[in-house]
Amino acid sequence: MAQQASRKPVFPPEIAPYIDVGAYLVDSRAAAATLYLDPLLKGKELILLTRSKQSDGQVTRRWKAFFEDCGYHTIAIDSISGDGLEEVLDYLAKLLQRKLKVAKKLGINNATLRVVALGVPNVGKSTFLNRLIGQKRLKTGDIPGITRGRQWVRLFDDVEVLDTAGVLRDPEQINRRKPYWMLLNLMPYDFKLREETVDLLRNTLNKQAWLKLRRYYKMPDEIPAPQDWFEMLEIVGRYGGYTLKNDDLVDKAARRLMKDFRMGRFGRISLEVPETAVITSPFLKRPGAEEQE
């Protein structure tokens, strides 16, 4: 299953020295919960904060500043609207020019910039690459695990990108972050997580988001905000014309709520902020870490 902690190599380790850029796609709505870093590509990281049109813009800027303070070049992107893609292309062009200068000094006339796209399942790697390429050449979809294997794609004559399957390496992250992943559709729906996942969203909604939720579900203003996950789902059921009489209907309401969140029905929402989020990756560079070594 995509959500298990696989130890299978994401790409052949022997090609790591020949890769120039490790492009890590991280969902801007939950940057800590979706962060994956590979020690084989240390010093080659490019952090791409995806789905930036769906996250709180102010929070995304704080995440960008956080990763840049850690020493990573970071760009906020949205593969649907195209925001940030020109900045990505400009960054790759600069790296290519740098590589061409080095190659020329070595007497090499041509050089290819090699990029590998990495991230947890369904974070949007293939959608991002298709948008960069300008045509649909990679399989995409809402089901985690669409990309089953590695595939090289030529972005331009002198830039190649390796698309990889979604990967998880951190068991601690898996145990802590499943509600985030289910809410973001990064893993299959699991009824055992619905209470925690619905509560995660309920506790994240700010005043403006609650206002939009009330309007979308045609909820009278005088009704107070729900006090627990079940009350939250009762609102969804009432909007859909049914009561939660059995477990199937509870699941139906939970799925609907999560889908409406992903569709942006309640506005732009971030589930984590850098000031309080826990990042479990052992490979994250911390500010000042090199000086302490």
For the entire predicted model, the pTM comes to: 0.87
Task: Answer yes or no: are the C-beta atoms of 88 and 75 closer than 8 Å.
Answer: yes
Give the integer Cα–Cα distance in Å for 60 and 63. 5
The structural domains of the chain, with segments of one domain joined by +, span: 13-169, 172-262
Q: Whose CA is closest to 48, among 171, 132, 138?
A: 132
Residue 26, pLDDT score: 96
Phi and psi at residue 191, to the nearest 5°: -60, -25
**Residue range 145-158: mean pLDDT, rounded:** 65
CA torsion sign for 282, 165, 162, 7 is positive
Span 241-253, average pLDDT: 96
Contact assessment for residue 110 and residue 158, using Cβ atoms and an 8 Å cutoff = yes
pLDDT, tens digit (0-9, with 9 covering 90-100), for 177-196: 889 999 999 888 999 999 99
* Residues contacting residue 141 through CB under 8 Å, at least 6 positions apart: none
CATH top class, domain 13-169: alpha beta
Cα torsion 61, 160, 3, 184: sign: positive
* Rounded alpha-carbon distances, angstroms, from residue 161 to 98, 118, 125, 139, 232: 18, 11, 11, 15, 43
Share of the chain above pLDDT 70, in %: 86
Q: What is the pLDDT of residue 3?
A: 39
How is 166-181 classified by DSSP, letter by letter? -----HHHHHHHHHHH
Distance in angstroms (rounded) separating the CA atoms of residues 91 and 212: 37
Q: What is the pLDDT of residues 78-121, one digit of tens each?
A: 999 999 999 999 999 999 999 999 988 888 888 899 999 998 88
Nearest to 55 by CA among 199, 157, 213, 204: 204
